Amino acid sequence: MAIESLIPVIEKKEPKMNTLTIEQETNPWEAQAARFDFAAKKLNLDQGIWKVLRYPAREIIVHIPVGMDDGSVEVFTGYRVQHSIARGPAKGGIRYGPDVSLDEVRALASWMTWKCAVVNIPFGGAKGGVICDPKKMSQGELERMTRRYTAELIEFIGPEKDVPAPDMGTDEQTMAWIMDTYSMHMRQTVTAVVTGKPVNIGGSRGRREATGRGVSVVCDQALKHLGMSIEGCRVIVQGFGNVGSNSAKILADKGYTVIGIAEYDGGLYNANGIDVPALIAHRKAAGTIVGFAGAEAADKDELLTYECEILIPAATENVITSLNAAKLRCRILCEGANGPTTTVADDILEDKRIFVIPDILANAGGVTTSYFEWVQDRMGYFWTEAEVNQRLDSIMTESFSDVMAYAKSHSVNNRIAAYMLAIDRVAYTTKQRGMYA
């Protein structure tokens, strides 16, 4: 569709889209665009800026040849989408997975723009992905694929251009390979080209736990806002990877009771609270949460509908849809994952008066500490973990209160408030810089 013809279509579109098929409902790009359009309309956004911000500024597709361990050559398709650089260098993770698609990467890139603006850090938004199954590849194959992907993107990334980070299927080691490949091309060590690196090569203390810590801070703030207390506050977490396990661990440390954990291969339930460090040790040893002695087995999908005070989806997109939203029995939905809730489900949650802490606020602790990492790399001076955590806590607390203030003053739900706040900030900068059009 031509961009010029978008605005009339948007103006006709109803925010409630109950007529969508489940495939349309779960398209992450459509989900992002629907919220953007709704918030932009509420803001009465200038039509030109609307068109500029609705689409990514740049989409790069690469086909990467990789020498496999058996001597054959495989070609993988990778993406890097830069949605906006209005407020600073593009910033966003790289995802490896069999289901990666351009629409998903586009949506994730836009969410990064909004997320960085919600927490008011000087970055735009980007995201990358490679269609592959990292679980089926050797370390050598992953390293060669990562290095060639980096080489293909060499003129598009950099500390002042676009700064990748880990996401699903990538980790600190992947970031170390990217940093090294970029540095070889630049003929000097450039640590600030990626964040989420190992601490000894320019990573930030506290980065690994940062998203979970940020989740815990917004949960604290939500309880305060709603007049609830930590004591007796039951939490269920979906996904026990970086975000899920760190959220569960930090919340349990703070006195919350983690009663359920759902993973792709099974769930766990213990009404008296799961010993999270023991579960982390079990998962490390067994490679799965299944079979953990400190909880009973539970159906992974049913767990999302168990009664609890806080439900934290921290796995992947589209897990709360028109098919299960009505069954949720939580008071607070805190989105550790990106895009876990569809637009149709949003309307159902609003009718049920579930308090949603939207992804672009709830999981922004990761990119906030990535920002700290980038700052420390460029200064060449590294902070203590306590300093990092204290700065993170204060940004997350302030951002929560900014979103609440927007929700109140514009009479909108928390998600639309977060989008409005973010779009307003990006639009303001775009106007101030002026358009090279």
Cβ 4 to ligand NAD shortest distance, Å: 33
Q: How far apart are CA 374 and CA 203, in angstroms?
A: 9
Please report how close the Cβ of residue 384 comes to ligand NAD at its closest, in angstroms.
20
Binding residues for ligand NAD, per CB under 6 A? 166-168, 211, 238-244, 262-264, 300, 314-316, 336-338, 363, 366
Task: Count the Cβ atoms, other than its own, within 10 Å of residue 408.
Answer: 10
Task: Please confirm, yes or no, whether 431 is among the known catalytic residues.
Answer: no
Nearer to ligand NAD, 40 or 235 (CB): 235
Closer of 56 and 366 to ligand NAD (Cβ): 366
How many angstroms separate the CA atoms of 155 and 174, rounded? 19
The secondary structure element, H or E, covering residue 184 is helix 172-186
Cα torsion 163, 169, 172, 175 to 10°: value is -40
Minimum distance, C-beta of residue 189 to ligand NAD, in the bound complex (Å): 24
Which amino acid appears at position 114 of this protein? W
One of 91, 115, 127, 249 is an active-site residue; which one?
A: 127
Q: How far is the CB of 360 from ligand NAD (least distance, A)?
A: 10
Q: What is the sign, positive or negative, of the torsion defined by CA atoms of 242, 398, 400, 162?
A: negative
Closest residue to ligand NAD, judged by C-beta, is 241
Q: Nearest CA to 231 among 189, 274, 273?
A: 273
Nearest residue (CB) to ligand NAD, 315 versus 427 = 315
Cβ-based nearer residue to ligand NAD, 88 or 166: 166
- Tokens encoding 62: 């690469």
Tell which phi-psi region holds residue 187, choosing left (phi > 0), alpha (psi between -120 and 50) or beta.
Answer: left
The answer to whether 169 and 207 have CB atoms below 8 angstroms apart is no
**Beta strands, E only, 98-197:** 125-131, 162-166
Nearest CB to ligand NAD, comparing residues 122 and 241 = 241
224: number of Cβ within 10 Å: 13
Q: How far is the CB of 353 from ligand NAD (least distance, A)?
A: 25
- List active site positions: 127
